[in-house]
Every structure is written in structure tokens, then in C-alpha cells.
Amino acid sequence: RFQDGQVVALQSRSVFRINDYQFNQAAPEKGQSFLALLQGGARIVTGLIGTSNRQGWKLALPTVTAGIRGTDFLALIRDTTSYFKVKLGSIVATNGGGSAVFTAGQNALADNATVVARSVTDAELPAGLFGELESMSLTGSLSGPASGTGTAAGAMIGPVPAWAVGLG
């Protein structure tokens, strides 16, 4: 759980990096959260940075970068493909092929860094792909921001047994 109320829950054997995180409760619109999922999967619920400064929130994966629009979503890497499942809000997936927006209830994949991400149905996803991430309960984790300010850069979390949270 981060100071702005954002929650990142990691699937087992995931590698996650905080590239840059800056938050001041008095000025959340100036915050930034630049994260990277290098291996495995994550469920992410954005906080005040994601709602106050959408341009200041990004998640990098090997084939695509996700931006958000007030979101609860799953991101997962399998082999060389990046997958998303949007639970609430929407994400914009951007890479060398362009940008595509995916909304609540949609799945997406980006299997190449030069081809725009595309929508896929549940039936088109590998069986059980999001199983561990969807079984995570984040109840009680979304109570809002912690007080004060926070800064982190280059922090790395990984591999973890079930799920881990960021700063907070």
C-alpha cells in the first residue's frame, strides 16, 4: 500500500520495480508513480495520484506501458506477452504500435512492442491466466492515503511468496 492509497498486490514469483514515486498529500496533483512489472503479475488499484494526475501514473511491462483513468486492473506477463484485465475504470496501453483504451470488463494483450495492444475475450486467454490475481482479496486495503509525503526510486520487490504491497 502506497501513501496515496494505491495498492499493488503481486502474484507469486513476480518481479516489480518502483522507478519513481513521489507524493505529497497537500498536492496530490503533482505526484507521480512510475512502476515496472518485469516478471509475473500484479493487481493494481490506483490512489490519489491516479485520480489527480493521470499523466503522472504509468506501469511499464516488456511490450507496453499502461496509463490509467481511475482504475482497478490486473497486469500479467507470460512468455513475451503482456496481458491486462480491467476491473474498474480504464487503462490506455501504449507502445511503438500506438495506443488503445480498454474499459471495465475488457481483457487486452500486447504480444509485440511494435503492434498496438488488442482486446481479447475470456475464451481467448490462456486457461487460469489471472486465477491467482483474481483470488486476491484487497478488502480493507483501500482506506485512503497515509499522512505525509513519500519518495522512492529504484526500489525493487521480488520474488515474493503470495502478494506484497508497496510503500506505506
pLDDT at residue 165 is higher than 90: no
Per-residue pLDDT tens digits for 106-133: 999 999 999 999 999 999 999 999 999 9
pLDDT at residue 163 is higher than 80: no
Model pLDDT, residue 161: 27
Model pLDDT, residue 152: 53
Instruction: Using alpha carbons only, give the angle 50, 51, 55 rounded to the nearest 5 degrees.
Output: 55
- What's the pLDDT band for 155 if we cut at 50, 70, 90? very low
**Residue 123, Cβ neighbours under 10 Å: how many?**
7
Average pLDDT, the chain: 85
% pLDDT > 70, the chain:
82
Model pLDDT, residue 149: 53
Contact, 53 vs 32, CB < 8 A? yes
Contact, 37 vs 52, CB < 8 A? no
**Residue 124, Cβ neighbours under 10 Å: how many?**
10
Task: Of 45, 23, 18, 26, give the one whose Cα is nearest residue 141.
Answer: 45
